[in-house]
Structure 1
Amino acid sequence: MGMKAKLEPTKVNERIAELDVLRGIALFGILVVNMKYFSTPTLYLEMLGITWWDDPLNSFVDILVQLFFEFKFISMFSFLFGTGFALFLSRLEQKALLPGPFVRRRLTFLLLVGFVHLFFIWYGDILTIYALLGFLLLLFMKKKRKSTVIWAFSFLLFPVFLFSVALLAGLGTNERLPTMMADILERSVYAYSEGTAADIFVQRMIDIAMIYQGHLFVMPMVFGMFLLGVYAWESGIIKKAGEQLLLLKRIRNGSLLIGLPFIVISVWSGVKIESVSSPHYIIYYAGQLISGPALAVFYITSLFFLMQNKRWREKLVFFQPIGRMAFTNYLLQSLICTTLFYSYGLGLFGKVDKAAGLLLAVIIFACQLLFSHYWFKRKKQGPIEAIWRKYTYKV
């Protein structure tokens, strides 16, 4: 009984509202970016430099997503994972519990759900990567704060080094590559829009193999944001945000100054991409991998700054419920979208343009927001969160 009392779910008044709100907003940004991967073979269209809808409205939406969404919200979500990881360990220490078994069970559950999501629902899963990198994060938890920051920026800059090497080495100059990509593109459209469950599974395996090559560049960025999240918690910036407004303002302004030029370079290069063999393809992603984390920090500090104002806080806490069950809502987004676009559902794959996709993302998120409010009127935790807790604590 004593153990169960110690392991009660965190009460609403004990939660840090800013973190929940950030998770909720990050979920929207992730859905906006993921929508084109759910609804079209974007993975191969971008490699081939093909644009299906280039009218003014769709071109505007494309640039809008590149400027304000791509790599920003996955960076934000990664920062929050690091913060949540450090917070979880600190609460275990407060309860005088050895963290090892609890952390391993927590990450193992995340990994198992990630595998199911990756192999049987959608190839764009991020949970598997978070779980695997989470085990690595344990090695960095006892480091000094200065060391944590140095490691964070080292990981954040490493993908830029990789892209520079790739650019000099002439990545993608294989003459057979465009033909191979065109064949896979054609097969993916058929599999997802008309194919059987077996066709979809085979295509998903191909997509996983393809996207994980790109993840080799993205994972250092994700881990770097993990470490920044750990530092933000351990340094007290999050816990004492109201006392550090000047520091938040400096970080906000500095991250904006770093992010702006690189996002401009990235979007400019994106317009000029002709194929995966184009240098602009590498410059585009290198720019995104620098500007994404920088502008994510700008978003995070801006929100913390705003939420110290009572009027803004009252408005923004409306997003807290969806952030409190971010695990559940992330999986729901995949279930909803694959049902809409894949052949076992409405079969709309390849038939929804970018503008309609953005509108659809807004509608889905709005429904999730209302559902989350409804859920917490009756329950203390989201459904997946409750199972995760039981698996972690064995209660």
Structure 2
Amino acid sequence: MTEQPSGAAPVTSSERVGELDVLRGFALLGVLIANFVWWSFGENTALPAQTEAFAQDPGNLAAIFFTDVFVSDKANTLFAFLFGVGFWVQMQRLEERGAEFGAIYTRRLFVLLVFGLINLFLIWPWDILNLYAITGFLLFALRGMSARAMLWTGLTLALLGMPLVRWATDQLGWAEPANEMAFGEVAIATRQDAYVNGSYFEWVEATANLVWFDWIANGLIVAWILYALGRFLVGAYVARQGWLQRAGELLPQIRKIFLVAFPLGVAIEVVRVLMGEAELIDAPAWLSKWLHVVGVPILDLGYAAGLILLFHSSRFGVLARVFGPVGRMALTNYLVQGVFIGLVLYGFHGGLALAGMIEPKVVLGLCFGFYALQTVFSHWWLGRYRFGPMEWLWRTLTYGERPTMRAQSA
């Protein structure tokens, strides 16, 4: 097999930041829960009457409450933050080797965009890879910002980007007609019928319509680009400061962050849900929305600090490290999660065709069960191979060389 060119080679196992893999693996659990619960419970696949029927069961309400408080927007925020961290770490390492970072990274993003578009239209309509690739080009363009500008631009976009774009599209009148085309009762019924009873090609057509109206025509893609870019920039700033790479030296400070951020983030999100979706606290709708904007990054900070502390614990470190192999195979595991959701909800190719019929409490249980299988598989696979299957393909297409797949024997 041809050797990699000097400098231009993937990160080796010894160079990996263990905390980064653990955090990414933990985020993937949240991604699976958020995607599966909201995709199956909401108007993407379920009629209003079906959703209302689910909500009569206390077990379903508990599953929704758990997902809303502990998972919603936290998983994608953590995942996006880690993308920014990974960007900066890769840039530093490639430049230290004397490799041309720009050429390598833009190829890497282009390949990711191709993967994302295939996933978006042919497998999983809520694909995030296409968004990350597009936003990654913007992050690359902004890499020369000062550290202070990177932090404040990131925080501003992370907190205000999506609310402001959604306000603007409402004012321009884009959102309402597009949302009606995507989520009017006739549109939902037509889509559900295609998902449950239709062929794969009818599913593709229904998915393309949903992507157009709920992703592009209503301007949501712009809101999400700014949302992701803000989180990318904050992640790049943290890596730029070396905080995650030096986490073992900063444990006292990280412990203080955890003791404040985790309980505060949970409290804010509980209050937000009780005054918002649950309507148990009388408050204006805008207050609930802005509490969520603030609560998400605080709770994510608590998650990250807690996992880092656990990772460095001599007694309980294994509880964190179990997430590591899942994070090392993040692309493979993410793509497989979309296939799994499809097999449960859709009827073609032997699927269970449960769209509109599967309860949130069942979905939540399936998420934990399937993630456990992914964890076992990831540990088994990486005990034999250096990369996950899709990670290997991504590296091959990025570097133009096939890296050795088999793990070296001890």
TM-score (norm. length: structure 1): 0.89
Q: Deviations over 1:296-348 (max 9, x none)?
A: 12211221223222222233112211110000000001112212211112212
The alpha-carbon distance between structure 1 residues 8 and 321, as it changes in their structure 2 partners (threshold 3 A), is same
- Among 193, 201, 205, the alignment partner of 1:202 is 205
- Among 225, 244, 248, the alignment partner of 1:219 is 225
Once structures 1 and 2 are overlaid, which stretch shifts more, 198-207 or 161-170?
A: 161-170
Amino acid at match of 1:42: E
1:28 Cα deviation from its structure 2 partner: 0.6
Alignment of 1:269 onto 2:270: no
How far apart, in 1, do the equivalents of 2:399 and 2:182 lie? 51
How many aligned residue pairs are there? 388
How far apart, in 2, do the equivalents of 1:242 and 1:392 lie? 32
Once structures 1 and 2 are overlaid, which stretch shifts more, 39-48 or 132-141?
A: 39-48
The 8 Å contact of residues 87 and 236 in structure 2, kept in 1 or not, is answered as yes
The residue correspondences of 1:328-367 to structure 2 (distance < 5 A) are: 328-344=332-348, 345-367=351-373
Q: Deviations over 1:8-58 (max 9, x none)?
A: 543333221111111111111110011134435534769999534121110
State the partner residue of 1:276.
Answer: none
Q: Specify the SS of the correspondent of 2:72.
A: coil
The residue correspondences of 1:101-112 to structure 2 (distance < 5 A) are: 101-112=103-114
How many percent identity over aligned positions? 28
Amino acid at match of 1:228: V
Q: Which has the higher contact order (CA 8 A, sep 6+)?
A: 1
The residue correspondences of 1:203-352 to structure 2 (distance < 5 A) are: 203-212=206-215, 213=218, 214-252=220-258, 255-256=261-262, 257=264, 260-261=267-268, 264-272=271-279, 280=285, 285-344=289-348, 345-352=351-358
Q: Deviations over 1:141-165 (max 9, x none)?
A: 1222111111111101223344566
Q: Deviations over 1:272-299 (max 9, x none)?
A: 49xxxxx84x665554343223321221
How far apart, in 1, do the equivalents of 2:214 and 2:276 lie? 21
TM-score (norm. length: structure 2): 0.86
RMSD value over aligned CA atoms? 3.0
Alignment of 1:393 onto 2:399: yes
1:268 Cα deviation from its structure 2 partner: 2.2
Amino acid at match of 1:222: A
- Among 59, 62, 66, the alignment partner of 2:64 is 62
The 8 Å contact of residues 80 and 232 in structure 2, kept in 1 or not, is answered as yes
The 8 Å contact of residues 155 and 224 in structure 1, kept in 2 or not, is answered as yes
1:171 Cα deviation from its structure 2 partner: 9.5
How far apart, in 1, do the equivalents of 2:183 and 2:103 lie? 46
How far apart, in 2, do the equivalents of 1:26 and 1:144 lie? 28
The alpha-carbon distance between structure 1 residues 224 and 90, as it changes in their structure 2 partners (threshold 3 A), is same
Once structures 1 and 2 are overlaid, which stretch shifts more, 263-272 or 199-208?
A: 263-272
Once structures 1 and 2 are overlaid, which stretch shifts more, 68-77 or 294-303?
A: 294-303
1:60 Cα deviation from its structure 2 partner: 0.9
